[in-house]
Amino acid sequence: MRRRSIIGTSLAVVAAMGLSACGGGGDGGSGSKTLRVTLVNHVWTENIKKALPEFEKQTGLKVEVTQLGEDQLSDQYNVKLNAGSSDLDVMMYRPLQEGKLFAKNKYLADLTERTKSDGAFDFSDFQAGPVQATTYDDKVVGVPIITESEVLYYRKDLLEKSGFTTPPKTLDELKEQAAKVEADNPGVAGFVSRTGKAAAVTQFSSFLYSFGGDFVDGSGKASVNTEQAKQAYAYYGGLLREHGPKNISTDMSWSEAMAIFTQGKAAFYTEANSLYKNATDPAKSKVSDTVGFAAFPAGPAGSKPYNIPSWALGINDGSKNKDNAWKFIQWAAGKEQSLEQQKAGVPGARASVWANPEGIATYPKDLAEATTASTANGVGHDRPLVVKVAQAREIVGQPIVDAITGKDAAASADAANTAFQKFLDDEAK
């Protein structure tokens, strides 16, 4: 059933574009006029498909698109890349999920010279954080196309009621304002965010960086038990324990936390900017007309939220059609298409698009300002950069849960660091 689903999806997309499922490109050899592009189900993909005739007309190439859900995409990559298949040319992939695995196994072509020599493409226009995530061993292996950064969602009406004229600029102010608003509004939590052991890691990461910590240090050693990391765990857990929803659950992902905020049950909420429409759409949110956005509050090390590429484009190193694959990336991640995508609500990685009034016209003004601020000092990862990401998140997420439930967060961080170092050592073998 699974295989039939994958094939059916691919054929359906190819057929919808008026192309032959078999194509005319043979094995996709050097200079082949048929380019095979594998994309995930996403608004970005739908927008690109609509513009493809323009690309095909410009280049004389025929593009065969395989469009899959995330799980199906991973399944196909696992099968084809492990087999050294050459019938994948352009690959849409998740840099923070599969990026290190793909790069380590040399599945992704080295794009460094192409990005350096292509002045018109202007790779320097891409934000530093996302580029960090698409670089491996100092080699560019992908081009970021869709980004996310963490911002502060808040209730403007509740802040005004409690006498605050501006949202918190520091984590100390966040705690103070959360406590005051909570006291002034019985039944409303001061703060909400993700609490699940693995789910919370990504949103906790901005707190970790803003306290001056990270998951690993400069030498690649586990560092979730440094003084800075312990302070971050204690702060995040303490804020939720003391000012979070009553009888707080420790298995909330973004959907549960967002529901609490949009039902009017919390004053502050830290989350990815990409989810903002859940809070501003009147059909989804009871507080849509009172929601504000602000830059992530500064900690002892400043405001250092994650600024990551959720998706990127790479070229299969086994492809025999790399030159034409690069032409597709030049176009799809170029300034013109990036601007069109962002105007359609898909946040991109190009600084010039965020600086362009057209590029931010469809976003709430304060969200655009918060996002722009986030990119200045943004960190290019929101989880440990490892091959086995899910396992790592379980390890480094345990102290979050322990801090929320009032256990010894420092001791938990020490235990997590030992386990995480063993994990890193095992992965390096």
Residue by residue, pLDDT tens for the chain (429 residues) are 333 333 333 333 333 333 333 333 333 344 689 999 999 999 999 999 999 999 999 999 999 999 999 999 999 999 999 999 999 999 999 999 999 999 999 999 999 999 999 899 999 999 999 999 999 999 999 999 999 999 999 999 999 999 999 999 999 999 999 999 999 999 999 999 999 999 999 999 999 999 999 999 999 999 999 999 999 999 999 999 999 999 999 999 999 999 999 999 999 999 999 999 999 999 999 999 999 999 999 999 999 999 999 999 999 999 999 999 999 999 999 999 999 999 998 999 999 999 999 999 999 999 999 999 988 889 999 999 999 999 999 999 999 999 999 999 999 999 999 999 999 999 998
pLDDT for 11 equals 34
pLDDT for 214 equals 98
At the top level of CATH, which class does the domain 34-147+308-375 belong to?
alpha beta
Residue 343 burial by Cβ neighbours in a 10 Å radius (0-12, 13-18, 19+)? middle
pLDDT for 31 equals 60
Domain ranges of the chain: 34-147+308-375, 149-306+381-428
CA distance 251 to 248: 9
Joined tokens for residue 169: 């600029």
Residue 302's region, left for phi above 0, alpha for psi from -120 to 50, else beta, is left
pLDDT for 10 equals 38
Catalogue the long-range contacts made by 334-337 (C-beta closer than 8 Å, 24 or more residues apart): 334/121, 335/122, 335/125, 337/48, 337/51
At the top level of CATH, which class does the domain 149-306+381-428 belong to?
alpha beta
pLDDT for 28 equals 37
The one-letter amino acid at 105: N
Residue 82 burial by Cβ neighbours in a 10 Å radius (0-12, 13-18, 19+)? exposed
Same fold across 34-147+308-375 and 149-306+381-428: yes
Instruction: Specify the pairing of strand 291-294 against strand 143-155.
Output: antiparallel
Joined tokens for residue 110: 């080295």
Q: Is 245 helix (H, G, I), strand (E, B) or coil?
A: coil
As a dihedral over the C-alpha atoms of residue 295, residue 311, residue 350, residue 314, rounded to 10 degrees, the angle is 150
Residue (of 33, 16, 12, 15) closest to 24 by Cα position: 33
CA distance 30 to 28: 7
Joined tokens for residue 133: 């995530």
DSSP-assigned letter for residue 86: S
The pTM of the full predicted model, rounded to 2 decimals, is 0.89
* Burial 194-221, CB ≥16 within 10 A → b, else e: bbbbbbbbbbbbbbbbbbbbbbbeeeee
Distance of CA 2 to the CA centre of its chain: 27
Instruction: List pLDDT tens digits, range 18-54.
Output: 333 333 333 334 468 999 999 999 999 999 999 999 9
